[in-house]
A and B are shown apart, each in its own frame.
Chain A
Amino acid sequence: MTKADIVERIYEKVGYSKKDVANVVEEIFSSIKASLEAGEKVKISGFGNFNVRHKTARRGRNPQTGADITIEERKVMTFKASQILKKAINSGAR
């Protein structure tokens, strides 16, 4: 499923103009991105939480050359699915 498919589904459910729905979908993701960029947690009840975690620098190794390298400190985005989503995924038809 891509963004275009999501727009299609929403359109089928609510029937607003596809172009307008696409605009809102775009705005939803930009808003979430802006929030995470500002270091804010994003909690979508029933779906899950998006978080930004800070990782400290650590020593690593280039698996190809074997050379020791330092992995710089960085921030990573994580997602934790809600219980509702986890349940839905496991009750889906297989």
Chain B
Amino acid sequence: MTKSELIERVSAEVKTFSKKDVEIIVDSLFDSMSESLSRGEKVEIRGFGSFKIKEREGRQGRNPKSGENIYIEAKRVPFFKAGKEIRERINK
């Protein structure tokens, strides 16, 4: 399912909004989550899962192609943990 298919399916269920409005809400939802994660906040959706940011320290690495030593900068990476409800549902 792509984002546009998600918009289609949600529109089919929701009578209060036009498809265009649902599209705005879907975009706004993922933007809000991205913004929150970018601020380093945790995002917790009950029944679905939670997203959080982990800090990775910089480390010495090597370019596997040239064998050259390079420094890998510290970075932040997003993690997702599935919620209990979804874990159970996909295993039924």
Q: Are A2 and B45 interface neighbours, CB within 8 A?
A: yes
How many contacts A-B (CB < 8 Å)? 149
Show the binding face of A for B, using Cβ within 8 Å. Answer: 1-3, 5-6, 9-10, 13-14, 16, 20-21, 23-25, 27-29, 31-33, 35-37, 40-48, 52, 74-79, 81, 84-86, 88-94
Complex-state Cα separation, A10 to B14, whole angstroms: 17
Q: Are A44 and B6 interface neighbours, CB within 8 A?
A: yes
Among B1, B3, B31, B47, residue most surrounded by chain A Cβ atoms (within 10 Å):
B1
Show the binding face of B for A, using Cβ within 8 Å. Answer: 1-3, 6, 9-10, 13-14, 16-17, 21-22, 24-26, 28-49, 51, 53, 75-78, 80, 82, 85-87, 89-92
Known: A29-B45, A77-B86, A79-B80. 9 other contacts (CB 8 A): A2-B45, A27-B10, A28-B29, A36-B89, A42-B6, A48-B78, A76-B82, A89-B37, A94-B40
Q: Are A1 and B33 interface neighbours, CB within 8 A?
A: yes
Q: Are A32 and B6 interface neighbours, CB within 8 A?
A: yes
Give 8 pairs: A residue, B residue, CB < 8 Å, sorted on A: A10-B32, A14-B21, A27-B13, A28-B10, A32-B1, A76-B82, A79-B78, A85-B37
Report chain B residues within 8 Å CB of A91: 38
Q: Are B3 and A1 interface neighbours, CB within 8 A?
A: no
- Name the residue on B nearest A87 (C-beta): B38
Q: Are A28 and B26 interface neighbours, CB within 8 A?
A: yes
Q: Could you say which of B1, B10, B92 contacts A42, with CB atoms under 8 Å apart?
A: B1
Q: Are A10 and B29 interface neighbours, CB within 8 A?
A: yes
Q: Could you say which of B14, B22, B48, B78 contacts A86, with CB atoms under 8 Å apart?
A: B78
Q: Are B25 and A25 interface neighbours, CB within 8 A?
A: yes
